[in-house]
Structure formats: C-alpha cells, structure tokens
Structure 1
Amino acid sequence: MSSLCRLVQRGLLSVRPSCRLFPGQLDVFRAALTVRTASSPSSVNLMYDVFDGKGESTPLVFLHGLFGSKSNFHSIAKSLVQRTGRKVLTVDARNHGNSPHTPELTYEAMASDLKHLLGQLHIDKCVLIGHSMGGKTAMTIALTQPSLVERLVVVDISPAQSTTRTNFRYYIQAMQEMKISSDIPRSTARRMAEDQLRARVKEHSVRQFLLTNLVEQNGHYTWRVNLEAIAAHLEEIMSFPSFNTVYNGPTLFLGGASSAYISSDDYPEIQRLFPSADIQYIPDASHWIHADKPLDFISSIISFLQS
C-alpha cells in the first residue's frame, strides 16, 4: 500500500475520486502533505459547549481541571450569561470529557489545542478562566499567546510545583484497578465503582467527582478519561513549564481559603510572570471553589470583569 493510501485510511488526507495530479503538481502536493502531516499531531479538535449571550463583549472561556470536564462549569456559565450578557464557552481538554484521546498530555499541547479551537471559532481574544490543570493551561496560553487573552483568571493553582500536595497517583491507581460487571443498571455500576474507590479515595466529594467520568460503552462500564496518558504525564501536569516571558494583562488568582494550592511561597513567581496579578481568596472554599461557593465565585469573576 502506498504512503498516500495509508494517509487516506488514517483520515489525515481526503481526496475526491475524480481528482488527478499531473507531474508538475505532484511536488506541490507532496509539500502540502508534509506540512499537513507534520502539524496534525500537535493539536486535536476539542469538544466544547457554547452558552450564547446577547452582548458584544469578549467571550469567557472556561478550562477545567484534572479529571474534570466542560460540564463542571455549566451552571456557572449559564449564570454568567444571564448576568453579563457575554458568550461563554466550556471546553473539554484532550484526554478528558468527550475530547479525543492522545498519548501526549503537556501544557504546551493543551495550549495548542485551545489556540486551534479559538481559531476555528474566529475568536481573536477571550477572557480565559482556568481551574487547576486548566489554570496552568490558561497561564501557558497567556505567556505564549498574550494577544489571545484579554484577561486571565487562574482558579486555585499557581505557576509552581504541586506534586507534594496531591493524591492523584492514588486516584489513578484506584480507577485503573476498578472492575465492574457488564450489563447492569448505571446506578448499580456507580455504587460498585464507589465501593472500590473508597479504599484509596477517602473523601466522599472526591469520589463523586471522579465518578462523573464513569461511562457505559456497549454494555461495559469504563472511564472516559485517558488514565494511561494522565499517569504517564502526571509529574508534568503537577509541575509547570519554565517561562522567561510575562503576561502584562489584568490577572486574577482566585484561591480557596481552605486550600493549599496558592501559598505565600508562590507569590514571587506569580508576580514575576504576571506583574498585574491580584491574588484573592474565597472563605470556606476548598480546591473546588466553583462547587463549594458558586455565588462567591461568580461574584468574584464579575467584579474582576468590571475592574
């Protein structure tokens, strides 16, 4: 089989049955093909939901955290559309939700995915709001593509190493070890899954969060997140790329007062990379601020947009 046929089979190339290439056109075709195949692995087509506002202001784009999905911000998005009139997008990262699975899971790759999506949607500038892993993706975009970001909100994460503060390795192991019978009701499958997670995942709220990823496929229950890719890249996800650039746009770091993810030790690095950053905390909120204190979270976002 020729290399061109293989590319057609893999969906990297589409051809019309009536299309013919003459010798003089073949070199141009091969050059275009080289560009296409070289760029294909760098970004994936992300799944997203749009909540359309009537206003003309810059749209808000929400990026979820590790093991999350675009649905995490649906109620927040609806409220913000009503209160600000802005269009709001919630996006599934690669290897999460309904977005494609890929072996690579780095902040550079996830930033490339979002840049690709914004280009597809003809969004020249947005307000980026990212939680945890999504916050690090948002910071990466702001530091590498500042013209795309009108304002930046980083939710309960900082541009610092966070490996020592998490139990994600245990969560992954528990999810990988899970075994559930086929062809049983979803409610029964969910109970079985929670029982098996309980040994390694002590917090009820975290178990419920992880269980949002339990899906049924052809009678079998599985996880919709790509556990292999997450496990392979966990150290990179907990870390943050090294940057010598800065983002000078308006920036809000919004932490949970009961969370340790944004500490005073992180302030110098935050100020170095984001000179215009304001750091605020929401009382009695954990790492999942938007779930713990949705009204306070929404109010903080609106105040920041109006500042």
Structure 2
Amino acid sequence: MRLNTIIAEPKTPSDLPPLVIVHGLYGSAKNWGAISKRLAQGNVCPARRVVAVDLRNHGDSPWGEDASYPALASDLAETIEAECGGRADVLGHSMGGKASMQLALTRPELVNRLIAADIAPVAYENHGHLAYIRAMKGVDLSTVNRRAAAEPQLRDGVPDRALRAFLLQSLAVEEDGTARWKLNLDALEAHMPDIVGWPGTEGEFTGPTLFVHGANSDYVGPEARPQIKRLFPAARFVAVKEAGHWLHAEQPEAFVQTVGGWLKATD
C-alpha cells in the first residue's frame, strides 16, 4: 500500500539517504512537521530529505483491514522504494517504531540506519487503548461541526486533557460541516492485540541503531535490552530527560538534538 507522505526538503540538494519518519498509534505525519523541518535543514545534522508518512488507517493514507506489523512494514517498504530510491534512514515512534523494526529485520536492504523512539520489540499491556477507541467511537459526529465540539464527549473515556487534544487532531471537519475520524477505528480495535504485541519476528539488523527513550517512560526498561541486543546488536541507548512516552512532543528540542547528533556522528 502506497502511503501518504509529507516531505521536508533541504535548502540545498543532498546525496544522503532520506530520513523516513513513522508516527505512532493515532498519530500522523502532520504531528512531526516541525521536527521534520529541523532535521531537513542541516542545523543539527547534515541536511537531507525527510519523508514523514501516514501509516495505513491513519491520516490521509488508505485504510486496510490488516493492521499487523508485517502489513505496516510492507507499506513502508513500498513507500521507501517509491519515494527514497530504495534505501533510507528510518525513525519510528511507538507503533511506528515497531513497524520500522519489523521492516529492518525483514527487509534490511531498505534500511540504512534505524531509530526507535520509546519502544522495544516486546509485547505490552493494553495501556487503555481500547477504552480510547471506544470513546472516539462514542462521539456523536452528527453534533460536531468543529473539533472543540467533540472534546466534552471524550472526557469520560479519555480523562487526560493533553491526550484528548492529541486524539482530536485526527478528527476532520469537512467544508460542509460534517465530521469524520481520520482513523480506521474498527481495524485498530480488531488488531489491538497485534499493535500492543510483537509478532515474534526473528532475524538480525546489524546496521547502526539508536533506541532513544523518555527517562520517565517504562516502555524501554532494562528487561527489554537482551531482546533488543539480540535483534539489533549495534543498538545504542539514550534517555531524554524529563520526558515520558511522548518524548518528541514533551521535549522536542532535546529530541531533535539527540537524533540529529546521532545521525551526524554515524553519517
């Protein structure tokens, strides 16, 4: 499946492999706009083309019933072949990080370097995601003609204000005033065990790999490191201070400096 992309071009042409950015669950390429531009400009690392994608069932990409990691990785492979000349650096956050790891393990010829942001190749608990999906499905869209009108309907199912604001970024209000979710909520709900899980993919990606995680997050704990090092033997680990799972949103400057510095050091 060919994915929708938002591309940040460098000011001057670059012969470096493009950087592909893969968002997490409920996200989109638009969430990464500012970071994409920073990494493309050449201030914190050598300038390059940055390609942010909308994963299937998110944003402006097509929908598909299969929301498993093999399917997501296949979409990334098709997009890298079409948009990046067949090879790219890949940065993925959360669900997007797992899709990127799946790609690196199964199609390593497409991945130059890998950055996994606050995620490991292990299974996690639900973390409330089914409740969030049901809250979104519970919004009466016939009463919504602007995003703010949906916010009160999400409060019971999504108590966290910042998370509600994030989810509402995926609510589109058309010119005629009708509202729709830019998320395939049915497919995401059906495949939630796959999304929070890990398909047990074997193999080895030996290219340069960075696991950057929030210092206040428990997604990349010490117990995950043996599995990470087995699949990604060149992995390095960096914690972003005063950040949780949404490290790129909570500490964007530190995140950009960490990723950009690593890209510069390993170019």
Please give the range of the TM-score, normalised by the shorter of the 2 chains.
Answer: over 0.9
Following superposition, the deviation at residue 282 of structure 1 comes to 0.4
Residues paired across the two proteins, number:
259
Higher helix share: 1
Following superposition, the deviation at residue 122 of structure 1 comes to 4.9
Following superposition, the deviation at residue 216 of structure 1 comes to 1.9
Distance 1:291 1:197 in 2: 21
User: Residue 136 of structure 2 corresponds to which residue in structure 1?
Assistant: 175
Amino acid in structure 1 at the alignment position of 2:151: E
TM-score, normalised by the number of residues in structure 2: 0.94
Long gaps (5+) in structure 2:
none
Give the SS at the match of 2:121.
coil
Alignment check: 8 A CA contact 1:65 1:131 kept? yes
Q: 1:219 to 1:79 in 2, by over 3 A?
A: same
Distance 1:246 1:153 in 2: 15
User: Residue 10 of structure 1 corresponds to which residue in structure 2?
Assistant: none
Alignment check: 8 A CA contact 1:180 1:192 kept? no
Greater CA deviation, 92-101 or 74-83?
74-83
Distance 1:212 1:237 in 2: 21
Long gaps (5+) in structure 1:
1-43
Q: 1:279 to 1:74 in 2, by over 3 A?
A: same
**2:93 equivalent to 1:135:** no
Alignment check: 8 A CA contact 2:81 2:87 kept? no
Runs of 4 or more consecutive aligned structure 1 residues displaced over 6 Å after TM superposition:
none
**2:186 equivalent to 1:228:** yes
User: Residue 209 of structure 1 corresponds to which residue in structure 2?
Assistant: 166
Deviations 1:228-264 (A, max 9, x none): 0000000000011112211011100011111111111
Instruction: Decide which of 141, 144, 156 is 2:106's aligned counterpart.
Output: 144
Q: Where in structure 2 are the equivalents of 1:52-131 lying within 5 Å?
A: 52-53=9-10, 54=12, 55-82=14-41, 83=43, 84-131=46-93
Give the SS at the match of 2:70.
helix
Q: 1:176 to 1:81 in 2, by over 3 A?
A: same
Q: 1:303 to 1:183 in 2, by over 3 A?
A: closer
Identical pairs, percent: 39
Alignment check: 8 A CA contact 2:144 2:150 kept? no
Give the SS at the match of 2:89.
strand
Kindly name which structure, 1 or 2, has the bigger radius of gyration based on alpha carbons.
1
Greater relative contact order, per chain length (Cα 8 Å cut-off, separation 6+): 2
**2:23 equivalent to 1:47:** no
Following superposition, the deviation at residue 64 of structure 1 comes to 0.2
Deviations 1:42-94 (A, max 9, x none): xx221001111222111110000000000111100111111231110000000
Alignment check: 8 A CA contact 2:35 2:252 kept? yes
TM-score, normalised by the number of residues in structure 1: 0.82
User: Residue 277 of structure 1 corresponds to which residue in structure 2?
Assistant: 235
Amino acid in structure 1 at the alignment position of 2:188: I
Following superposition, the deviation at residue 121 of structure 1 comes to 2.3
User: Residue 306 of structure 1 corresponds to which residue in structure 2?
Assistant: 264
Deviations 1:277-300 (A, max 9, x none): 011110111111111111111111
Distance 2:134 2:142 in 1: 19
Cα RMSD of the aligned pairs, angstroms, is 1.3
Alignment check: 8 A CA contact 2:4 2:60 kept? yes
Distance 1:222 1:97 in 2: 11
**2:156 equivalent to 1:195:** no
Amino acid in structure 1 at the alignment position of 2:128: N
Distance 1:169 1:138 in 2: 23
